[in-house]
A and B are shown apart, each in its own frame.
Chain A
Amino acid sequence: MKILVIADHDNGALKPETSKVVNAASKIGSDITVLVAGANVAEIANSAAQIAGVTNVIVADDAVYAQQLAENTADLVVELASGYSHILASASTTGKNMMPRVAALLDKSQISEIIAVVDENTFKRPIYAGNAIATVQSNEDVKVLTVRASAFDVQASQGAVAINSVDSAVANTTTEFVSVEQTMSERPELTAAAVVISGGRGMQNGENFALLEGIADKLGAAIGASRAAVDAGFVPNDMQVGQTGKIVAPNLYIAVGISGAIQHLAGMKDSKVIVAINKDPDAPIFQVADYGLVADLFEVLPELEKAL
Protein backbone atom coordinates (compact mmCIF):
# COMPACT_ATOMS: atom_id res chain seq x y z
CA MET A 1 0.00 0.00 0.00
CA LYS A 2 1.33 3.39 -1.00
CA ILE A 3 -0.41 6.50 0.20
CA LEU A 4 -0.25 9.97 -1.33
CA VAL A 5 -1.27 12.93 0.84
CA ILE A 6 -1.84 16.30 -0.81
CA ALA A 7 -0.48 19.02 1.47
CA ASP A 8 -2.77 21.84 2.53
CA HIS A 9 -0.98 25.20 2.60
CA ASP A 10 -1.45 28.84 1.71
CA ASN A 11 1.97 29.29 0.03
CA GLY A 12 3.13 30.90 3.28
CA ALA A 13 2.96 27.97 5.65
CA LEU A 14 1.88 24.38 5.86
CA LYS A 15 -1.55 24.14 7.46
CA PRO A 16 -1.92 21.98 10.57
CA GLU A 17 -4.64 20.04 8.73
CA THR A 18 -1.88 18.34 6.70
CA SER A 19 -0.47 16.72 9.82
CA LYS A 20 -3.94 15.46 10.74
CA VAL A 21 -4.42 13.99 7.25
CA VAL A 22 -1.06 12.21 7.68
CA ASN A 23 -2.46 10.89 10.97
CA ALA A 24 -5.45 9.49 9.05
CA ALA A 25 -3.08 8.05 6.43
CA SER A 26 -0.99 6.36 9.13
CA LYS A 27 -4.07 4.37 10.14
CA ILE A 28 -4.22 2.98 6.58
CA GLY A 29 -0.54 2.18 5.98
CA SER A 30 3.03 3.24 6.64
CA ASP A 31 4.34 4.26 3.21
CA ILE A 32 3.23 7.90 3.10
CA THR A 33 4.29 10.44 0.48
CA VAL A 34 3.27 14.08 0.79
CA LEU A 35 2.85 16.20 -2.33
CA VAL A 36 3.41 19.93 -1.93
CA ALA A 37 2.20 21.84 -5.00
CA GLY A 38 2.54 25.61 -5.10
CA ALA A 39 4.92 28.46 -5.85
CA ASN A 40 7.99 29.09 -3.66
CA VAL A 41 7.08 26.27 -1.34
CA ALA A 42 10.55 24.95 -0.36
CA GLU A 43 9.95 25.88 3.30
CA ILE A 44 6.55 24.23 3.26
CA ALA A 45 8.03 21.06 1.80
CA ASN A 46 10.55 21.16 4.64
CA SER A 47 7.77 21.34 7.22
CA ALA A 48 5.98 18.44 5.54
CA ALA A 49 9.16 16.34 5.66
CA GLN A 50 9.17 16.71 9.45
CA ILE A 51 5.70 15.29 10.09
CA ALA A 52 6.13 11.94 11.83
CA GLY A 53 5.23 9.02 9.58
CA VAL A 54 5.98 10.78 6.29
CA THR A 55 8.42 8.68 4.27
CA ASN A 56 8.91 10.93 1.27
CA VAL A 57 7.99 14.43 0.07
CA ILE A 58 7.42 15.44 -3.53
CA VAL A 59 7.45 19.11 -4.34
CA ALA A 60 6.04 20.68 -7.49
CA ASP A 61 7.22 24.26 -7.25
CA ASP A 62 6.06 26.41 -10.14
CA ALA A 63 4.23 29.69 -10.65
CA VAL A 64 1.41 27.81 -12.42
CA TYR A 65 0.45 26.22 -9.08
CA ALA A 66 0.59 29.48 -7.11
CA GLN A 67 -3.17 29.75 -6.60
CA GLN A 68 -3.76 25.99 -6.35
CA LEU A 69 -6.57 26.17 -8.89
CA ALA A 70 -8.36 22.86 -9.28
CA GLU A 71 -7.87 22.25 -12.99
CA ASN A 72 -4.09 22.06 -13.28
CA THR A 73 -3.46 20.91 -9.71
CA ALA A 74 -5.77 17.94 -10.31
CA ASP A 75 -3.91 17.18 -13.57
CA LEU A 76 -0.64 17.22 -11.62
CA VAL A 77 -1.98 14.81 -9.01
CA VAL A 78 -3.24 12.48 -11.76
CA GLU A 79 0.19 12.63 -13.42
CA LEU A 80 1.79 11.47 -10.18
CA ALA A 81 -0.97 9.08 -9.05
CA SER A 82 0.38 5.90 -10.59
CA GLY A 83 1.32 3.27 -8.01
CA TYR A 84 -0.62 4.76 -5.10
CA SER A 85 -3.46 2.82 -3.50
CA HIS A 86 -4.83 5.79 -1.56
CA ILE A 87 -4.88 9.52 -2.32
CA LEU A 88 -5.88 11.76 0.58
CA ALA A 89 -6.45 15.47 1.06
CA SER A 90 -7.93 17.59 3.79
CA ALA A 91 -11.60 18.49 3.31
CA SER A 92 -10.64 22.17 3.23
CA THR A 93 -12.11 24.32 0.46
CA THR A 94 -8.95 23.62 -1.56
CA GLY A 95 -9.23 19.86 -1.08
CA LYS A 96 -12.97 19.80 -1.69
CA ASN A 97 -12.46 21.78 -4.87
CA MET A 98 -9.74 19.60 -6.34
CA MET A 99 -10.17 16.01 -5.17
CA PRO A 100 -13.42 15.10 -6.97
CA ARG A 101 -11.73 16.29 -10.14
CA VAL A 102 -8.84 13.90 -9.45
CA ALA A 103 -11.29 11.08 -8.72
CA ALA A 104 -13.26 11.60 -11.93
CA LEU A 105 -10.09 11.78 -14.05
CA LEU A 106 -8.95 8.48 -12.50
CA ASP A 107 -12.49 7.08 -12.95
CA LYS A 108 -12.87 6.38 -9.21
CA SER A 109 -15.70 7.03 -6.80
CA GLN A 110 -14.54 9.38 -4.04
CA ILE A 111 -15.33 9.08 -0.35
CA SER A 112 -15.70 12.52 1.22
CA GLU A 113 -14.92 13.77 4.72
CA ILE A 114 -13.92 10.58 6.46
CA ILE A 115 -13.88 10.81 10.25
CA ALA A 116 -12.48 7.32 10.97
CA VAL A 117 -10.47 4.61 9.26
CA VAL A 118 -11.93 1.14 9.89
CA ASP A 119 -9.53 -0.67 7.56
CA GLU A 120 -7.76 0.10 4.29
CA ASN A 121 -11.05 -0.13 2.33
CA THR A 122 -13.57 0.94 4.95
CA PHE A 123 -14.23 4.37 6.39
CA LYS A 124 -16.76 6.25 8.49
CA ARG A 125 -18.24 9.55 7.40
CA PRO A 126 -21.12 11.77 8.52
CA ILE A 127 -24.20 12.03 6.31
CA TYR A 128 -27.47 13.99 6.59
CA ALA A 129 -25.79 16.98 8.25
CA GLY A 130 -24.23 14.72 10.87
CA ASN A 131 -27.54 13.13 11.87
CA ALA A 132 -26.13 9.76 10.88
CA ILE A 133 -22.71 8.18 10.54
CA ALA A 134 -22.24 5.90 7.54
CA THR A 135 -19.67 3.13 7.34
CA VAL A 136 -18.74 2.74 3.68
CA GLN A 137 -16.50 0.29 1.90
CA SER A 138 -14.74 1.25 -1.31
CA ASN A 139 -14.36 -1.41 -3.99
CA GLU A 140 -11.99 0.78 -6.01
CA ASP A 141 -8.34 -0.22 -6.47
CA VAL A 142 -7.40 3.41 -5.81
CA LYS A 143 -9.19 5.14 -2.97
CA VAL A 144 -9.65 8.88 -3.34
CA LEU A 145 -10.52 10.31 0.06
CA THR A 146 -11.01 13.68 1.70
CA VAL A 147 -10.45 13.83 5.43
CA ARG A 148 -12.29 15.83 8.05
CA ALA A 149 -9.12 17.02 9.78
CA SER A 150 -10.83 17.89 13.08
CA ALA A 151 -11.55 14.18 13.61
CA PHE A 152 -7.84 13.27 13.64
CA ASP A 153 -4.88 14.20 15.85
CA VAL A 154 -1.80 16.19 14.94
CA GLN A 155 1.23 13.94 14.32
CA ALA A 156 4.47 14.35 16.27
CA SER A 157 7.53 15.59 14.42
CA GLN A 158 10.52 13.66 13.05
CA GLY A 159 13.88 14.36 11.47
CA ALA A 160 13.26 15.58 7.91
CA VAL A 161 12.96 12.86 5.24
CA ALA A 162 14.05 13.21 1.62
CA ILE A 163 12.43 15.84 -0.58
CA ASN A 164 12.21 15.19 -4.32
CA SER A 165 11.28 17.81 -6.87
CA VAL A 166 9.17 17.02 -9.89
CA ASP A 167 9.65 19.10 -12.95
CA SER A 168 6.06 19.68 -13.88
CA ALA A 169 4.19 22.77 -14.93
CA VAL A 170 0.69 21.96 -16.16
CA ALA A 171 -0.88 25.13 -17.57
CA ASN A 172 -4.43 26.05 -16.64
CA THR A 173 -6.19 26.69 -19.92
CA THR A 174 -9.67 27.47 -18.62
CA THR A 175 -9.38 29.35 -15.37
CA GLU A 176 -7.52 32.45 -14.24
CA PHE A 177 -7.00 33.78 -10.77
CA VAL A 178 -8.31 37.35 -10.38
CA SER A 179 -8.03 38.31 -6.73
CA VAL A 180 -8.32 37.15 -3.17
CA GLU A 181 -9.79 38.97 -0.24
CA GLN A 182 -8.45 37.48 2.97
CA THR A 183 -10.52 38.08 6.04
CA MET A 184 -8.10 40.18 8.09
CA SER A 185 -7.90 38.99 11.63
CA GLU A 186 -5.43 39.09 14.47
CA ARG A 187 -7.19 36.05 15.80
CA PRO A 188 -6.38 32.41 15.17
CA GLU A 189 -8.12 30.62 12.32
CA LEU A 190 -11.39 28.99 13.30
CA THR A 191 -10.31 25.47 12.50
CA ALA A 192 -6.99 25.82 14.35
CA ALA A 193 -8.09 27.78 17.45
CA ALA A 194 -7.96 26.24 20.93
CA VAL A 195 -10.93 28.37 21.95
CA VAL A 196 -13.89 29.38 19.77
CA ILE A 197 -16.70 31.74 20.71
CA SER A 198 -19.66 31.80 18.31
CA GLY A 199 -22.73 33.97 18.01
CA GLY A 200 -26.13 33.03 16.63
CA ARG A 201 -29.40 34.68 15.69
CA GLY A 202 -29.70 35.81 19.31
CA MET A 203 -26.95 38.38 18.64
CA GLN A 204 -29.66 40.31 16.73
CA ASN A 205 -27.25 42.09 14.36
CA GLY A 206 -23.67 42.19 13.12
CA GLU A 207 -22.65 45.12 15.34
CA ASN A 208 -23.42 43.10 18.45
CA PHE A 209 -20.71 40.60 17.49
CA ALA A 210 -18.38 43.25 18.99
CA LEU A 211 -19.59 41.92 22.35
CA LEU A 212 -17.77 38.65 21.56
CA GLU A 213 -14.53 40.37 20.59
CA GLY A 214 -13.45 41.45 24.05
CA ILE A 215 -13.95 37.92 25.33
CA ALA A 216 -12.17 36.44 22.30
CA ASP A 217 -9.22 38.79 22.91
CA LYS A 218 -8.89 37.65 26.51
CA LEU A 219 -9.12 33.95 25.62
CA GLY A 220 -7.09 34.09 22.40
CA ALA A 221 -10.21 32.72 20.74
CA ALA A 222 -11.46 32.65 17.17
CA ILE A 223 -14.95 34.02 16.52
CA GLY A 224 -17.53 31.89 14.72
CA ALA A 225 -21.21 32.08 13.91
CA SER A 226 -24.18 29.84 13.33
CA ARG A 227 -25.71 29.45 9.88
CA ALA A 228 -28.74 31.41 11.11
CA ALA A 229 -26.49 34.40 11.86
CA VAL A 230 -24.86 34.09 8.43
CA ASP A 231 -28.21 33.71 6.66
CA ALA A 232 -29.48 36.80 8.48
CA GLY A 233 -26.48 38.71 7.07
CA PHE A 234 -24.90 39.49 10.46
CA VAL A 235 -21.46 38.14 9.51
CA PRO A 236 -19.64 36.64 6.50
CA ASN A 237 -19.97 32.98 5.61
CA ASP A 238 -16.34 32.14 6.36
CA MET A 239 -17.28 32.49 10.05
CA GLN A 240 -19.91 29.79 9.75
CA VAL A 241 -19.52 26.78 12.03
CA GLY A 242 -21.66 23.83 10.97
CA GLN A 243 -22.16 21.03 8.51
CA THR A 244 -22.15 23.48 5.58
CA GLY A 245 -19.44 25.68 7.10
CA LYS A 246 -16.37 24.94 9.18
CA ILE A 247 -16.02 21.89 11.39
CA VAL A 248 -14.22 22.78 14.62
CA ALA A 249 -13.11 20.80 17.67
CA PRO A 250 -11.45 23.24 20.07
CA ASN A 251 -10.73 22.69 23.77
CA LEU A 252 -13.42 25.21 24.63
CA TYR A 253 -16.42 26.19 22.51
CA ILE A 254 -18.71 28.96 23.72
CA ALA A 255 -22.08 29.18 21.93
CA VAL A 256 -23.84 32.49 22.49
CA GLY A 257 -27.43 33.06 21.38
CA ILE A 258 -27.31 29.84 19.35
CA SER A 259 -30.33 27.54 19.61
CA GLY A 260 -28.37 24.46 18.53
CA ALA A 261 -29.80 23.33 15.20
CA ILE A 262 -28.42 19.91 14.21
CA GLN A 263 -26.67 21.68 11.34
CA HIS A 264 -24.66 23.71 13.85
CA LEU A 265 -24.08 20.85 16.28
CA ALA A 266 -22.53 18.84 13.45
CA GLY A 267 -19.82 21.50 13.24
CA MET A 268 -18.84 21.74 16.90
CA LYS A 269 -20.03 18.78 18.93
CA ASP A 270 -16.56 17.22 19.05
CA SER A 271 -15.28 20.18 21.07
CA LYS A 272 -13.77 19.14 24.40
CA VAL A 273 -15.83 21.49 26.55
CA ILE A 274 -18.98 23.27 25.36
CA VAL A 275 -20.51 26.30 27.06
CA ALA A 276 -23.95 27.56 26.01
CA ILE A 277 -25.40 30.95 26.84
CA ASN A 278 -29.03 31.32 25.79
CA LYS A 279 -32.11 32.86 27.34
CA ASP A 280 -34.33 29.98 26.19
CA PRO A 281 -33.93 27.13 28.73
CA ASP A 282 -35.39 24.67 26.19
CA ALA A 283 -32.84 25.46 23.47
CA PRO A 284 -31.35 22.17 22.15
CA ILE A 285 -27.84 23.57 22.58
CA PHE A 286 -28.16 22.86 26.32
CA GLN A 287 -28.41 19.13 25.57
CA VAL A 288 -24.83 19.06 24.32
CA ALA A 289 -23.38 21.76 26.58
CA ASP A 290 -21.16 20.86 29.52
CA TYR A 291 -22.02 24.17 31.13
CA GLY A 292 -25.23 26.03 30.39
CA LEU A 293 -26.10 29.56 31.47
CA VAL A 294 -29.73 30.53 30.97
CA ALA A 295 -29.48 34.29 30.68
CA ASP A 296 -29.81 37.34 28.45
CA LEU A 297 -26.57 37.46 26.50
CA PHE A 298 -26.57 41.25 26.46
CA GLU A 299 -26.36 41.22 30.24
CA VAL A 300 -23.86 38.43 30.76
CA LEU A 301 -21.36 39.00 27.93
CA PRO A 302 -19.95 42.24 29.42
CA GLU A 303 -19.91 40.52 32.80
CA LEU A 304 -18.04 37.52 31.38
CA GLU A 305 -15.48 39.76 29.70
CA LYS A 306 -14.78 41.45 33.03
CA ALA A 307 -14.57 38.15 34.91
CA LEU A 308 -11.90 36.67 32.65
Chain B
Amino acid sequence: MKVLVPIKRVIDYNVKARVKADNTDVDLNNVKMAINPFCEIAVEEAVRLKEAGAATEVVVVSIGDKACQEQLRTALALGADRAIQIDTEQKLESLHVAKLLAKLVDQEQPELVILGKQTIDADNNQTGQMLAALTKRGQATFASKVVVEGGKAVVTREVDGGLQTISVALPAIITTDLRLNEPRYASLPNIMKAKRKPLDVIAADSFGVDLAPRVTLVRVEEPAKRQGGIVVESVSELVEKLKNEAKVIS
Protein backbone atom coordinates (compact mmCIF):
# COMPACT_ATOMS: atom_id res chain seq x y z
CA MET B 1 0.00 0.00 0.00
CA LYS B 2 1.31 3.39 -0.99
CA VAL B 3 0.63 6.35 1.31
CA LEU B 4 0.83 9.95 0.10
CA VAL B 5 1.34 12.67 2.70
CA PRO B 6 0.98 16.31 1.61
CA ILE B 7 2.79 18.69 3.96
CA LYS B 8 2.99 22.47 4.24
CA ARG B 9 5.80 24.82 5.26
CA VAL B 10 4.35 27.27 7.80
CA ILE B 11 5.46 29.60 10.55
CA ASP B 12 6.87 27.62 13.51
CA TYR B 13 4.09 27.12 16.04
CA ASN B 14 6.22 28.67 18.81
CA VAL B 15 6.52 31.95 16.92
CA LYS B 16 3.87 34.63 17.32
CA ALA B 17 2.70 35.94 13.95
CA ARG B 18 2.93 39.72 13.57
CA VAL B 19 0.81 41.81 11.28
CA LYS B 20 2.68 44.02 8.77
CA ALA B 21 2.55 47.74 9.45
CA ASP B 22 0.71 48.36 6.16
CA ASN B 23 -1.97 45.76 7.08
CA THR B 24 -1.48 43.81 3.84
CA ASP B 25 -0.60 40.48 5.46
CA VAL B 26 1.30 38.78 8.25
CA ASP B 27 5.04 39.47 8.25
CA LEU B 28 6.97 36.25 7.55
CA ASN B 29 10.36 37.86 6.87
CA ASN B 30 13.12 36.23 8.92
CA VAL B 31 10.59 34.11 10.79
CA LYS B 32 11.41 30.52 11.73
CA MET B 33 9.48 28.10 9.51
CA ALA B 34 8.61 24.44 10.12
CA ILE B 35 6.36 21.59 8.99
CA ASN B 36 2.78 22.38 9.95
CA PRO B 37 2.23 20.40 13.21
CA PHE B 38 -0.82 18.50 11.92
CA CYS B 39 1.15 17.56 8.76
CA GLU B 40 3.97 16.25 10.95
CA ILE B 41 1.44 14.00 12.72
CA ALA B 42 0.36 12.80 9.25
CA VAL B 43 3.94 11.91 8.31
CA GLU B 44 4.38 10.07 11.60
CA GLU B 45 1.18 8.07 11.08
CA ALA B 46 2.24 7.06 7.56
CA VAL B 47 5.68 6.00 8.77
CA ARG B 48 4.09 3.95 11.57
CA LEU B 49 1.82 2.23 9.02
CA LYS B 50 4.95 1.31 7.09
CA GLU B 51 6.76 0.09 10.20
CA ALA B 52 3.72 -2.04 11.06
CA GLY B 53 3.82 -3.60 7.59
CA ALA B 54 0.52 -2.06 6.46
CA ALA B 55 2.18 0.40 4.05
CA THR B 56 4.98 -0.27 1.59
CA GLU B 57 5.92 3.24 0.52
CA VAL B 58 5.49 6.70 2.01
CA VAL B 59 5.61 9.62 -0.45
CA VAL B 60 5.60 13.20 0.84
CA VAL B 61 4.61 16.17 -1.29
CA SER B 62 4.73 19.88 -0.68
CA ILE B 63 3.50 22.73 -2.87
CA GLY B 64 5.56 25.90 -2.84
CA ASP B 65 8.86 27.43 -3.83
CA LYS B 66 12.28 25.86 -3.29
CA ALA B 67 12.20 26.70 0.43
CA CYS B 68 9.69 23.94 1.14
CA GLN B 69 12.36 21.37 0.21
CA GLU B 70 13.64 21.94 3.75
CA GLN B 71 10.39 20.55 5.18
CA LEU B 72 10.39 17.71 2.63
CA ARG B 73 13.91 16.74 3.80
CA THR B 74 12.67 16.79 7.38
CA ALA B 75 9.82 14.45 6.44
CA LEU B 76 12.33 12.16 4.69
CA ALA B 77 14.42 12.16 7.87
CA LEU B 78 11.31 11.14 9.81
CA GLY B 79 11.01 8.07 7.60
CA ALA B 80 9.29 8.97 4.31
CA ASP B 81 10.79 7.20 1.28
CA ARG B 82 10.69 9.90 -1.36
CA ALA B 83 9.54 13.46 -1.84
CA ILE B 84 7.90 15.60 -4.50
CA GLN B 85 7.97 19.39 -4.64
CA ILE B 86 5.23 20.92 -6.75
CA ASP B 87 6.98 24.13 -7.65
CA THR B 88 5.14 27.45 -7.57
CA GLU B 89 5.74 30.94 -6.22
CA GLN B 90 2.03 31.64 -6.04
CA LYS B 91 0.03 31.84 -2.84
CA LEU B 92 -2.65 29.21 -3.32
CA GLU B 93 -6.12 28.66 -1.92
CA SER B 94 -7.17 25.29 -0.47
CA LEU B 95 -9.18 24.50 -3.62
CA HIS B 96 -6.08 25.02 -5.80
CA VAL B 97 -4.01 22.83 -3.51
CA ALA B 98 -6.67 20.12 -3.56
CA LYS B 99 -6.84 20.26 -7.38
CA LEU B 100 -3.07 19.92 -7.74
CA LEU B 101 -3.06 17.05 -5.24
CA ALA B 102 -5.94 15.37 -7.09
CA LYS B 103 -3.77 15.38 -10.26
CA LEU B 104 -0.88 13.91 -8.30
CA VAL B 105 -3.17 11.25 -6.80
CA ASP B 106 -4.12 10.38 -10.39
CA GLN B 107 -0.46 9.84 -11.24
CA GLU B 108 0.71 8.17 -8.05
CA GLN B 109 -2.42 6.14 -7.22
CA PRO B 110 -1.89 6.02 -3.43
CA GLU B 111 -4.38 3.88 -1.52
CA LEU B 112 -4.26 6.30 1.36
CA VAL B 113 -3.66 10.04 1.51
CA ILE B 114 -3.04 11.36 5.02
CA LEU B 115 -3.12 15.13 5.56
CA GLY B 116 -3.15 17.45 8.55
CA LYS B 117 -6.66 18.63 9.39
CA GLN B 118 -5.64 22.28 9.08
CA THR B 119 -2.60 24.47 8.76
CA ILE B 120 -1.73 26.88 11.53
CA ASP B 121 -1.36 29.81 9.14
CA ALA B 122 -4.59 29.98 7.11
CA ASP B 123 -6.55 27.78 9.58
CA ASN B 124 -8.84 26.73 6.73
CA ASN B 125 -9.46 23.05 7.47
CA GLN B 126 -10.51 22.35 3.86
CA THR B 127 -7.87 20.64 1.74
CA GLY B 128 -8.40 17.00 2.79
CA GLN B 129 -12.17 17.18 2.38
CA MET B 130 -11.82 18.92 -1.01
CA LEU B 131 -9.30 16.35 -2.19
CA ALA B 132 -11.71 13.58 -1.17
CA ALA B 133 -14.50 15.22 -3.17
CA LEU B 134 -12.34 15.76 -6.26
CA THR B 135 -11.00 12.20 -6.23
CA LYS B 136 -14.46 10.78 -5.34
CA ARG B 137 -12.97 9.05 -2.32
CA GLY B 138 -14.35 8.57 1.15
CA GLN B 139 -13.00 10.79 3.88
CA ALA B 140 -12.17 10.34 7.56
CA THR B 141 -11.35 13.71 9.03
CA PHE B 142 -9.98 14.69 12.47
CA ALA B 143 -8.60 11.18 13.11
CA SER B 144 -7.46 10.18 16.58
CA LYS B 145 -6.99 6.49 15.70
CA VAL B 146 -6.41 4.73 12.38
CA VAL B 147 -6.55 0.98 11.77
CA VAL B 148 -6.02 -0.28 8.20
CA GLU B 149 -7.39 -3.78 7.54
CA GLY B 150 -9.14 -5.72 4.79
CA GLY B 151 -9.29 -2.95 2.22
CA LYS B 152 -10.69 -0.47 4.74
CA ALA B 153 -9.52 2.16 7.15
CA VAL B 154 -11.35 2.10 10.45
CA VAL B 155 -10.93 5.59 11.84
CA THR B 156 -11.92 7.08 15.16
CA ARG B 157 -12.74 10.77 14.74
CA GLU B 158 -12.72 13.64 17.21
CA VAL B 159 -16.21 15.14 16.94
CA ASP B 160 -18.10 17.65 19.09
CA GLY B 161 -19.20 15.85 22.20
CA GLY B 162 -17.17 12.67 21.80
CA LEU B 163 -15.61 10.20 19.39
CA GLN B 164 -17.10 8.75 16.23
CA THR B 165 -15.76 5.63 14.55
CA ILE B 166 -16.31 5.11 10.83
CA SER B 167 -15.11 2.60 8.28
CA VAL B 168 -13.91 4.02 4.96
CA ALA B 169 -13.27 1.88 1.89
CA LEU B 170 -9.76 2.28 0.42
CA PRO B 171 -8.59 4.26 -1.44
CA ALA B 172 -9.43 6.98 1.06
CA ILE B 173 -8.43 10.34 2.49
CA ILE B 174 -7.63 10.80 6.18
CA THR B 175 -6.95 14.04 8.05
CA THR B 176 -5.18 14.04 11.40
CA ASP B 177 -6.17 15.51 14.73
CA LEU B 178 -3.84 16.37 17.56
CA ARG B 179 -3.98 13.16 19.55
CA LEU B 180 -3.43 10.69 16.71
CA ASN B 181 0.21 10.21 17.65
CA GLU B 182 3.24 11.99 18.99
CA PRO B 183 5.73 12.57 16.18
CA ARG B 184 9.30 11.36 16.67
CA TYR B 185 12.39 13.49 16.43
CA ALA B 186 14.64 12.91 13.44
CA SER B 187 17.93 11.29 14.46
CA LEU B 188 21.20 12.62 13.06
CA PRO B 189 21.91 9.47 11.00
CA ASN B 190 18.42 9.70 9.54
CA ILE B 191 18.90 13.38 8.72
CA MET B 192 22.09 12.41 6.83
CA LYS B 193 20.31 9.55 5.08
CA ALA B 194 17.45 11.87 4.08
CA LYS B 195 19.84 13.96 2.00
CA ARG B 196 20.29 11.04 -0.38
CA LYS B 197 16.62 10.11 -0.70
CA PRO B 198 14.93 11.10 -4.00
CA LEU B 199 13.26 14.50 -4.24
CA ASP B 200 11.56 15.30 -7.54
CA VAL B 201 10.49 18.76 -8.60
CA ILE B 202 7.41 19.18 -10.81
CA ALA B 203 6.27 22.59 -12.07
CA ALA B 204 2.76 23.42 -10.84
CA ASP B 205 1.90 24.74 -14.34
CA SER B 206 2.49 21.30 -15.84
CA PHE B 207 -0.67 19.93 -14.17
CA GLY B 208 -2.97 22.14 -16.25
CA VAL B 209 -4.92 23.37 -13.21
CA ASP B 210 -6.45 26.87 -13.26
CA LEU B 211 -4.73 28.58 -10.33
CA ALA B 212 -6.33 32.01 -10.74
CA PRO B 213 -7.21 33.54 -7.34
CA ARG B 214 -10.87 33.43 -6.33
CA VAL B 215 -10.60 35.13 -2.98
CA THR B 216 -8.92 38.51 -2.41
CA LEU B 217 -7.13 39.28 0.82
CA VAL B 218 -8.33 42.82 1.50
CA ARG B 219 -6.74 43.58 4.85
CA VAL B 220 -5.04 41.94 7.81
CA GLU B 221 -5.21 43.49 11.25
CA GLU B 222 -4.40 42.74 14.86
CA PRO B 223 -7.31 41.32 16.83
CA ALA B 224 -9.06 43.77 19.13
CA LYS B 225 -7.13 43.97 22.38
CA ARG B 226 -8.93 43.10 25.58
CA GLN B 227 -8.56 45.54 28.40
CA GLY B 228 -6.65 43.99 31.27
CA GLY B 229 -8.55 43.97 34.55
CA ILE B 230 -7.60 43.99 38.19
CA VAL B 231 -5.80 41.63 40.52
CA VAL B 232 -7.86 40.52 43.50
CA GLU B 233 -6.24 39.51 46.77
CA SER B 234 -8.48 36.68 47.91
CA VAL B 235 -11.20 34.24 46.96
CA SER B 236 -13.76 36.20 48.96
CA GLU B 237 -12.89 39.40 47.09
CA LEU B 238 -13.17 37.51 43.79
CA VAL B 239 -16.61 36.14 44.64
CA GLU B 240 -17.76 39.57 45.82
CA LYS B 241 -16.63 41.19 42.54
CA LEU B 242 -18.28 38.50 40.42
CA LYS B 243 -21.54 38.94 42.30
CA ASN B 244 -21.75 42.70 42.71
CA GLU B 245 -19.52 44.26 40.07
CA ALA B 246 -19.59 41.90 37.07
CA LYS B 247 -22.96 40.44 38.10
CA VAL B 248 -22.22 37.12 36.38
CA ILE B 249 -23.02 34.92 39.39
CA SER B 250 -25.73 35.19 41.98
Contacts and interface: CB of A to CB of B under 8 A. Distances in A.
Interface of A: 10, 67, 69-71, 74, 92-94, 96-105, 107-113, 122, 125-140, 173-183, 189, 191, 195, 219, 227, 230-231, 237-238, 240, 243-244, 246, 251-252, 262, 269, 272-275, 281, 286-294, 300, 303-304, 307-308
B242 A132 contact: no
A28 to B, nearest CB: 16
Interface stretch (B68-76, B133-141, B187-195, B199-207): B133-141
20 contacts: A67-B164, A104-B95, A109-B215, A127-B123, A128-B120, A128-B121, A131-B223, A132-B17, A135-B217, A139-B216, A174-B172, A180-B165, A181-B162, A189-B160, A244-B178, A269-B223, A272-B248, A287-B226, A292-B229, A293-B238
Question: What is the interface of chain B mostly: helix, strand, loop, or mixed?
Answer: mixed
Interface in B211-250: 213-223, 226, 228-232, 234-236, 238-239, 241-242, 246, 248-249
Contact of B162 (A238, A303, A308): A238
Given A178-B154, A237-B179, A96 B125 contact: yes
B144 interface: yes
Contacts of B141: 70, 96-97
Question: What is the interface of chain A mostly: helix, strand, loop, or mixed?
Answer: mixed
Interface in B57-108: 93-95, 98
A10 B161 contact: yes
A281 to B, nearest CB: 8
A304 B18 CA distance: 38
A271 to B, nearest CB: 9
B109 interface: no
Interface of B: 11, 16-19, 26, 93-95, 98, 118, 120-134, 137-142, 144, 154, 157-169, 172, 177-179, 213-223, 226, 228-232, 234-236, 238-239, 241-242, 246, 248-249
Contacts of A94: 159-160
Given A110-B126, A290-B246, A293-B232, A104 B222 contact: no
Listed from nearest, the 6 A-B pairs whose CB atoms lie closest are A174-B138, A290-B229, A100-B129, A104-B130, A128-B17, A100-B126
B41 to A, nearest CB: 12
A275 B238 CA distance: 9
B242 A291 contact: yes
A293 B231 contact: yes
Contacts of B120: 128-129, 243
